[in-house]
Amino acid sequence: MGKRSRQRQKTQNAGRDDRDNRDNAGWGAGYADIVKENKLFEHYYQELGLVPEGEFEEFMNAMREPLPATIRITGYKSHAKEILHCLKEKYFKDIQEVEIDGLKIEAPQPLKWYPDEQAWHTNMSRKIIRKSPLLEKFHQFLVSETESGNISRQEAVSMIPPLLLKIESHHKILDMCAAPGSKTAQLIEMLHSDIDVPFPEGFVIANDVDNKRCYLLVHQAKRLNSPCIMVVNHDATCIPTLKIDSDGKKDILFYDRILCDVPCSGDGTMRKNIDVWKKWTTSNSLHLHGLQLRIAVRGVEQLAVGGRMVYSTCSLNPIEDEAVIAALLEKSEGTLELVDGSADLPGLKSMPGVNSWKLMTKEGQWFSDWSEVPVSRQTQIRPTMFPPTNPEKLANFHLERCMRILPHHQNTGGFFVAVLVKKAPMPWNKRYPKVRQDVSSSAAAQTEGSPAASIPSGTPCPPDSAVEEGLGEKVVVVEEEEPKDSPLALETTDKLEREYGPPASKKKKLFGYKEDPFVFLTEEDPVFTTIQSFYNLSPTFPKVNVLTRTHDGKKRHLYMVSKELRNVLLNNSERMKVINTGVKVWSRNSDGEEFGCAFRLAQEGIYSLQPYIRSRIITVSVEDIKVLLTQENPYLSKLEADAHAQAKKLVMGSIVLKYIPNPNNTEDPQCPIQLCGWRGKTSIRAFVPRNERFHYLRMLGVEVFREKQGQGDKGPDGEKAVEGVEVKEEAGNGAEEKGEEKEVGKDAGHMDLENGDKIGTSEPMKEPMD
């Protein structure tokens, strides 16, 4: 197979597994060659009766329509209100009466059930956007703000599970199947709901089984610049039990909130993932049911008593939905309660869960009960796929409290969600203390690899900690891996092929790609000597939370994590594979040594770090920020008198540029702005990435827009800017990185530019890639 073909196949495989962050069909390219018909699908759902009587034709018509494009404003940032104001006043008003090729563009509307108008939907497609300069401006705005982390393009129903978790700033959160990361981003936002708290007590551990997808997850999480996120790489069915220090003792880490958004057949995504139309079959759900149940069981094991877990799929099939919840409730023996989350999202239309369903094979054979399944089918069809046979037990489960979102009710994708609350430890934790003692040594030896126990048919296969807890009716420790032809292995292989692309030709190593170590600094580390004095750090600054990624040589970058994440890292280095954590707060710059400090501030971590900095801060006005973001290297005299006077008192080196809103002047932004900068000999500059420059300039009323490629005079990157701001990239990123230290602190010429002049909006000093 040629290189291009392999790359195309890789791209298609990657696209299929992005459950909640694939481009909405309206934003991405179409699938004109795929016919949106699947008779088996129609027959199956008509027979199940999940759609209200008389609405099935409307349901199918909606499934064939492109999915509306939806955006979500990053909620935790103090700039959210300013972004919303900008959208309403600068873009949405102009879109209301637009008509292109006879199609009237609908004005964007807020999602009724999403709080504070922070999520919007529209019927615009990328093709339509590109036909109109007016809509193109809107598109450029979305792209720029998305890259800056201020806006996320995310399917509407994908936003539901994090809202139902009811996140608070002190919660310890686990996202079990996190990639590509849209829901993870929501969790981080909610954790940081109070912008005045730089280090919330809680944290998010985001996990994914696929190593490559973890790096996509890292990219998504990094946009939010949080010190409270950790990305790990484990099989969710065997995710290890972590330990933490608590008052000098080692305790098990139980999570306050768990998001269990499992791999699924994805028939609710047909509106955006057109490929599902031709590939859908009832076998998909049968293959995935066991995997989904094992992940859910592992989730509730790690949930704290009183904690809340949300189980969700983008499938409408009861085999993946109510059947998993019913089996989970039955195994829990009353320690779990299914709660009704519909009241938490007023305005969201959903159907209650069902109490009865049946199975159909891809050949069209139906089974209503396990007793009807022939022996030849009993490896594929399992008892947990059927509703409980005991009417009293079924009634006590209250499966009607589940929520199924149908596409035609609010013009969305299809989705299923269930909210579970843990009232007591799981029954197998108490039932087998002797078994737990017998296997503890073997379980400790088997970390995050293949399943460590053989369990009776129909019981989810436990990881190491589940063996310690005695999960199942009989636990037998085994040393070898699961046989390749076992139902577990076949199910896992099928899932990998469907959700993550073809399996690797060679056996994966336990820890995949090698990661740099996470090395925490001590309070006495020499690196703090100059940093402490240069920035006059507050005595409350948590030095022990600072880490680097190398044992040897000079420290290139310094990162920070929250106190609780430090606790997790220090106590579980041998148990988990950490892909990434922390937020960058300082970067080494050798030229800075002659000015007093070898480390300059990093924009990524400025909002976390600035509350502890008591010097090198210049308070700036709106006009000062405009100068700093639209002029390459302005003289100090370009600043207004107050900021100019402050800057003259400082020696050369890294600085904080801080804007404090004036509540009496409502024309200016009403949110604080903090930028990293450099005070040169006679000049001053802002070290802010290009898209963040665009973001702040828009907030200040300066229009930033890149024209379509191929029109007019173009810059080095093939783009031309209008209205006074040109997009310009410096040639050769590698050269920039190598020359980084030479450029800082030197006045490399000045560009006294007024409105209409060309302005370099690229970051003067590029950040090296981590």
Q: According to the annotation, is 369 in a ligand binding site? A: no
Q: According to the annotation, is 179 in a ligand binding site? A: yes
User: Which single residue is written with the structure tokens 């708290």?
Assistant: 197
Tell me the Ramachandran region of residue 643: left when phi exceeds 0, alpha when psi lies from -120 to 50, beta otherwise: alpha
Strand order in the sheet with 673-679: 617-619, 653-659, 673-679, 684-686
**Six-digit token pair at 487?**
């139902």
Q: According to the annotation, is 261 in a ligand binding site? A: yes
Question: Burial level of 275, CB count in 10 A (0-12/13-18/19+)?
Answer: middle
User: Which single residue is written with the structure tokens 């106190």?
Assistant: 563
Q: Using an 8 Å Cβ cutoff, are 342 and 349 in contact?
A: no
Question: Which residues, including other chains, have CB under 8 Å from residue 337's CB and lie 6 or more apart?
Answer: 420, 421, 423
Based on the residue annotation, tell me whether 314 is a catalytic residue of this protein. yes
User: Which of 574, 576, 551, 547 has its CA nearest to residue 562?
Assistant: 547
Q: According to the annotation, is 236 in a ligand binding site? A: no
Q: According to the annotation, is 267 in a ligand binding site? A: no
Among the options 228, 264, 314, 676, which is catalytic? 314
Identify the bridge partners of residue 653 per DSSP, sorted by sequence position: 679
Q: DSSP readout, 40-83?
A: HHHHHHHHHT-SPTT-HHHHHHHHHSPPPEEEEE-SSSTTHHHH
d(CA 358, CA 369): 7
Report CA torsion sign: 248, 252, 255, 256.
Answer: negative
d(CA 594, CA 591): 6
Kindly list the distances between the CA atom of residue 192 and the CA atoms of 189, 263, 660, in Å, as whole numbers in the listed order.
5, 28, 20
d(CA 201, CA 172): 8
Q: Within a 10 A sphere around the Cβ of 730, how many other Cβ atoms?
A: 15
User: Which single residue is written with the structure tokens 């609710």?
Assistant: 268
Q: DSSP readout, 663-684?
A: TT-TTS-SS-EEEEEEE-SSBE
Tell me the Ramachandran region of residue 44: left when phi exceeds 0, alpha when psi lies from -120 to 50, beta otherwise: alpha
Q: Using an 8 Å Cβ cutoff, are 419 and 310 in contact?
A: yes
User: Which single residue is written with the structure tokens 């989904």?
Assistant: 292
3-class DSSP assignment, residue 34 = coil
- In angstroms and rounded to an integer, the radius of gyration of the C-alpha atoms of the chain is 28
d(CA 161, CA 418): 9
Q: How far is CA 597 from the centre of its chain?
A: 35
Q: DSSP readout, 153-184?
A: E--GGGGHHHHHT---TT-EEEETT-TT-HHH
Q: According to the annotation, is 285 in a ligand binding site? A: no
3-class DSSP assignment, residue 62 = helix
Tell me the Ramachandran region of residue 27: left when phi exceeds 0, alpha when psi lies from -120 to 50, beta otherwise: alpha
Would you mind telling me the total number of residues written for the chain in this entry? 770
CA torsion 108-112-113-115 (nearest 10°) is 70
User: Which of 536, 564, 549, 611 has its CA nearest to residue 769?
Assistant: 549
Q: Using an 8 Å Cβ cutoff, are 227 and 199 in contact?
A: yes
3-class DSSP assignment, residue 462 = coil
d(CA 515, CA 521): 18
Q: According to the annotation, is 177 in a ligand binding site? A: yes
CA angle 24, 27, 32 (to 5 degrees): 90
3-class DSSP assignment, residue 581 = strand
- Which contacts of 636-645 are long-range, i.e. CB under 8 A and separated by 24 or more positions? 636/682, 636/683, 636/684, 638/684, 638/752, 639/684, 643/618, 643/619
**Six-digit token pair at 143?**
């792209």
Q: According to the annotation, is 671 in a ligand binding site? A: no
Catalytic residues: 314
Residue numbers belonging to the annotated binding site: 177-183, 208, 235, 261
Residue numbers belonging to the annotated binding site for S-adenosyl-L-methionine: 177-183, 208, 235, 261
